[in-house]
Chain A
Amino acid sequence: MAPIITTHKLSKQYHPPKGPLAIKEIDLEIQEGEIFGLLGPNGAGKTTLIGVLCGLLPPTTGDATIAGHSVGRNPMAVKRIIGVVPEEIALYARLSGRQNLRYFGSLYGLAGRELDQAVDKALEEIALTDRAGDKVADYSNGMKRRLNIAVELLHKPRILLMDEPTLGLDPESRRHILDLVMRFKQDQGTTILYTTHNMDEAQELSDRVGIIHHGRIIALGAPGELIQAMHSEDTLRLNIGISTVSPATLNALRRVKGVKQISSDKHTLTFSLLSAAEVLPEILCIVKEAGIGVRALTVQQPNLETVFLRLTGERLTEAP
């Protein structure tokens, strides 16, 4: 099956020739009906890639096609089949939710009864029917985010580009949106490109993820495959009562079979382990014999965060 979104050596430089290269020679294929998570820290190029795909930003080099239409040469055909949920809440705060939906629906070419029905359905979808007549300014952040998504449901797009749709939301609102995204895929078969810097979201939603860093895609595949491919270890963190551990104790810990790496940082000892379950008793025994009190203990199994850390040497949330 032909991919519905294809990019070929797609680059975007702001203010050429000296401006920053926001995305660099991106080659990407996204299949119809899949949720593709684009994972990366702030400034990695996620929003720029979405901007180029929806025709808002002209690419500097390369090209992108959506459902066979070149984004550069036939932007109107592309715009008819996509919906773009922007990162910011792009709504008119002084107008009501319904007024916002009606306006943007009209710009998607809907009118009359078709527009009324689409607005009602979208409001129902995001559970905002009761508050449809209220000013957007009076909505909670979560309600605004849902309405921000609903605008792009009116014309039933084949492809939905969602840029950090859960940014700044509380867990409950975030859950609501994640469920909504899953429903789009299941009920309507919508292809979704979902950008986030939250690895849990990417891991939960995505059929495949691309990890983007400094404008380049550095890893691409299903979340499980990526984690496995990294041969990632479990991470054990011990919060201890002293700030420095003696070299003798550290050497003893390094000699334990299954310990790959140890680092000591103030009150924390961090271990990379082949299997935390197998070596944990022995580690705790050495620590106890050295007279070090353990205040807390966490075991973390490998995930996309680990993959990112491995690939970039930076934590996802700390990267610039």
Chain B
Amino acid sequence: MKKLFVIARHEITLRYWDPVVLIFTLAMPLVIAALIYLAFGDVVLGRGVPEAKVPVGIVNQDRGSAWGNFGQLFARAMIPDPAHPALPAELQLRAFAVREIADETRARRLVEREKLFAALLIPPDFSEALAMGRATVEVYIVGRENVLGLAFKSVVETLANMISSGEVTVRTTVEGLLGNPSVRAQLRIGLLDDAMANVARAASSPESNPIQIRRVPPVAQPARIKLAHYLAASIAVMFIGFTALMVSATLFQDKTQGTLQRMSITPTRPEVILGGKILGTYLATLIQLGVLVGGMAALEGILGGNAGDDLQAASPPGIDLLGLTVLILTAAAAATGVGAAIAGLAGTYTQAANYGRAFLVLMGLAGGVFFPVELFPAPLDLLSRVTFQYWAVAGYSKLALGSGATSVLPHSLILASMAILFFAIGSRLLKRRIGFL
């Protein structure tokens, strides 16, 4: 057992004795992270700008009133109908894809899940209230940095203002009313005179807007991880993968220079030699990950930028340390296991270095190291689950968003399982590759 640690310590000494290794494994990722912080300091993940129209919803619950359904008119104004446009062409909402949703709860859920950027909620008594000169609609937006949701709210406000100034209200309302057979019948018998007078009065008053817009405060603001945090964590995970390839370096280079044979000639059991070398790699990976996480937290303090009070993005300094420690331990173990398996499959140092790096880059790509997996199509999204990078970065993201240690338990367990599986494969192959071990 003592020799296991002697070999592991030797591996670490050998590794970090080399300034080139120090630069490559520790300094370079920190420089990349610094550049990322400088470039994306305040960018927040979770809402991209869609290429197509911005999806928003409208829930028209208006029961209508004796003289018609004004909610329906509002909806018609929002949802363009090329055959019967409710708004003049210049006023139509080209940037938004408005869909009608029957259920308010569902609309709220879609917004909370970020499937919609905002939802306009027209209450059941809208027509009745509007007839009384004071109606309220709600715009449901989650996230104060939801720029597109806020844009939708302002569009709704513009529409309301246009109604108040008579630009739209009179036209749409009167057109709508006149288009309604029931209203026409009531007008004929003089029943709607008071209501029309109220609408006209409200519309002619510059101080008051007959349609009030109320922004609904969300129950809870979902925290979002900063892009810089995400990418920095990804870089750290990517680089520990490269460090894990050290298993092959240490074994095959030692074999080439005869030091592995020399170790085998000493009264040290083969499994202790192999175990010590893998343990050394694991500890080196652990040191690297610890230094990178610590270094990146420091960089965040120096370069992370002033996110402002509005930003809800969680900050790693407030991270759950127990969760982070468990995640680091298991992520480093999984990376080392993968490194051992690559070494076993490769058979030579050159092969392990070349194919191993290419394989790790592919794994990193699939695992969301370069781009968040949420951006991937479904098959790639599934593929990401078989990479240790995905579980490590996903776990870190959870912790960075303020979750506790228990929330990353599944991630840690999966990483630990990967470590055991790949280590078993790697050590079996390595024993075969290096005959005397």
CB distance from B34 to the nearest CB of A (A): 29
Residues B261-278 near A (CB distance < 8 A): 261-269
Complex Cα distance, B269 from A109, in Å, reads 12
CB distance from B366 to the nearest CB of A (A): 35
B260, closest chain A residue (CB) = A90
Q: Determine if A57 and B262 form an interchain contact, defined as CB atoms under 8 angstroms apart.
A: no
Q: What residues on A are CB-neighbors of B266 within 8 Å?
A: 79, 104, 107-108
Contact bitstring A89-108, B, C-beta under 8 A = 1, else 0: 11111110001000110111
Complex Cα distance, B264 from A93, in Å, reads 19
Q: Does A151 contact B (CB under 8 A)?
A: yes
CB distance from B12 to the nearest CB of A (A): 12
Contact of A55 among B3, B6, B263, B265 (CB under 8 A): B265
Contact bitstring A127-160, B, C-beta under 8 A = 1, else 0: 0000000000000000000000001000000000
Q: Determine if B14 and A95 form an interchain contact, defined as CB atoms under 8 angstroms apart.
A: yes
Known A103-B6, A106-B3, A107-B3: A92·B263 in contact at CB below 8 Å: no
Q: What residues on A are CB-neighbors of B268 within 8 Å?
A: 107
Q: Determine if B436 and A103 form an interchain contact, defined as CB atoms under 8 angstroms apart.
A: no
Q: Determine if B257 and A84 form an interchain contact, defined as CB atoms under 8 angstroms apart.
A: no
Q: Determine if B263 and A107 form an interchain contact, defined as CB atoms under 8 angstroms apart.
A: yes
Q: Does B258 contact A (CB under 8 A)?
A: yes
CB distance from B103 to the nearest CB of A (A): 69
Q: Does A54 contact B (CB under 8 A)?
A: yes
Q: Does A86 contact B (CB under 8 A)?
A: yes
Complex Cα distance, B259 from A91, in Å, reads 6
CB distance from B82 to the nearest CB of A (A): 75
Q: Does B207 contact A (CB under 8 A)?
A: no
Complex Cα distance, B50 from A2, in Å, reads 88
Complex Cα distance, B17 from A134, in Å, reads 13
Q: Does B431 contact A (CB under 8 A)?
A: no
Q: Does A88 contact B (CB under 8 A)?
A: yes
Q: Determine if B267 and A104 form an interchain contact, defined as CB atoms under 8 angstroms apart.
A: no
Complex Cα distance, B268 from A86, in Å, reads 17
Q: Determine if A86 and B17 form an interchain contact, defined as CB atoms under 8 angstroms apart.
A: no
Q: Determine if B17 and A56 form an interchain contact, defined as CB atoms under 8 angstroms apart.
A: no
Q: Determine if B267 and A80 form an interchain contact, defined as CB atoms under 8 angstroms apart.
A: yes
Complex Cα distance, B436 from A92, in Å, reads 20
Complex Cα distance, B17 from A99, in Å, reads 12
Known A103-B6, A107-B6: A90·B258 in contact at CB below 8 Å: yes
Q: Does B432 contact A (CB under 8 A)?
A: no
Q: Determine if B261 and A90 form an interchain contact, defined as CB atoms under 8 angstroms apart.
A: yes
Q: Does A309 contact B (CB under 8 A)?
A: no
Complex Cα distance, B257 from A91, in Å, reads 7
Q: What residues on B are CB-neighbors of A89 within 8 Å?
A: 258
Complex Cα distance, B13 from A57, in Å, reads 30
Residues B5-41 near A (CB distance < 8 A): 6-7, 10, 13-14, 17-18
Q: What residues on B are CB-neighbors of A54 within 8 Å?
A: 265
Q: Does A76 contact B (CB under 8 A)?
A: yes
Q: Determine if B436 and A57 form an interchain contact, defined as CB atoms under 8 angstroms apart.
A: yes
Q: Determine if A84 and B6 form an interchain contact, defined as CB atoms under 8 angstroms apart.
A: no
Contact of A88 among B18, B258, B264 (CB under 8 A): B258
A135, closest chain B residue (CB) = B17
Q: What residues on B are CB-neighbors of A108 within 8 Å?
A: 266-267
Q: What residues on B are CB-neighbors of A76 within 8 Å?
A: 267, 269
CB distance from B114 to the nearest CB of A (A): 53
Complex Cα distance, B265 from A90, in Å, reads 12
B276, closest chain A residue (CB) = A107
Residues B180-199 near A (CB distance < 8 A): none
A106, closest chain B residue (CB) = B6
CB distance from A228 to the nearest CB of B (A): 37
Complex Cα distance, B261 from A90, in Å, reads 8
Known A90-B258, A92-B259: A84·B267 in contact at CB below 8 Å: no
A109, closest chain B residue (CB) = B267
Q: Determine if A151 and B267 form an interchain contact, defined as CB atoms under 8 angstroms apart.
A: no
CB distance from B254 to the nearest CB of A (A): 9
Complex Cα distance, B258 from A92, in Å, reads 10
A107, closest chain B residue (CB) = B266
Q: Determine if A103 and B261 form an interchain contact, defined as CB atoms under 8 angstroms apart.
A: no
CB distance from A170 to the nearest CB of B (A): 22
Q: What residues on A are CB-neighbors of B7 within 8 Å?
A: 107
A84, closest chain B residue (CB) = B265
Residues A165-179 near B (CB distance < 8 A): none
Complex Cα distance, B254 from A88, in Å, reads 12
Q: Determine if A88 and B17 form an interchain contact, defined as CB atoms under 8 angstroms apart.
A: no
Q: What residues on A are CB-neighbors of B6 within 8 Å?
A: 103, 106-107
Q: Determine if A86 and B262 form an interchain contact, defined as CB atoms under 8 angstroms apart.
A: yes
CB distance from B425 to the nearest CB of A (A): 24
Q: What residues on A are CB-neighbors of B263 within 8 Å?
A: 104, 107
Q: Determine if A90 and B14 form an interchain contact, defined as CB atoms under 8 angstroms apart.
A: no
Contact bitstring B356-392, A, C-beta under 8 A = 1, else 0: 0000000000000000000000000000000000000
Q: What residues on B are CB-neighbors of A56 within 8 Å?
A: 261, 264-265, 436
Q: Determine if A94 and B14 form an interchain contact, defined as CB atoms under 8 angstroms apart.
A: yes
CB distance from A260 to the nearest CB of B (A): 46
Q: What residues on B are CB-neighbors of A104 within 8 Å?
A: 262-263, 266
Q: What residues on B are CB-neighbors of A109 within 8 Å?
A: 267
CB distance from B1 to the nearest CB of A (A): 13
Residues B73-131 near A (CB distance < 8 A): none
CB distance from B215 to the nearest CB of A (A): 65
Q: What residues on A are CB-neighbors of B18 within 8 Å?
A: 94
Complex Cα distance, B264 from A54, in Å, reads 9
B262, closest chain A residue (CB) = A90
Complex Cα distance, B14 from A51, in Å, reads 27
Contact of A90 among B10, B257, B269, B436 (CB under 8 A): B257
Q: What residues on B are CB-neighbors of A103 within 8 Å?
A: 6, 10
Complex Cα distance, B7 from A55, in Å, reads 20
Q: What residues on A are CB-neighbors of B258 within 8 Å?
A: 86, 88-90
Q: Given A57-B436, A88-B258, output 5 extra A-B contacts at Cβ < 8 Å.
A: A79-B266, A80-B267, A93-B257, A106-B3, A107-B266
Name the 9 nearest CB pairs between A and B, nearest first: A90-B258, A107-B266, A79-B267, A90-B262, A88-B258, A106-B6, A84-B265, A80-B267, A90-B259
- Show 12 A/B contacts (Cβ-Cβ < 8 Å), sorted by A: A55-B265, A56-B264, A56-B436, A76-B269, A82-B265, A88-B257, A89-B258, A90-B257, A90-B258, A91-B257, A99-B13, A109-B267
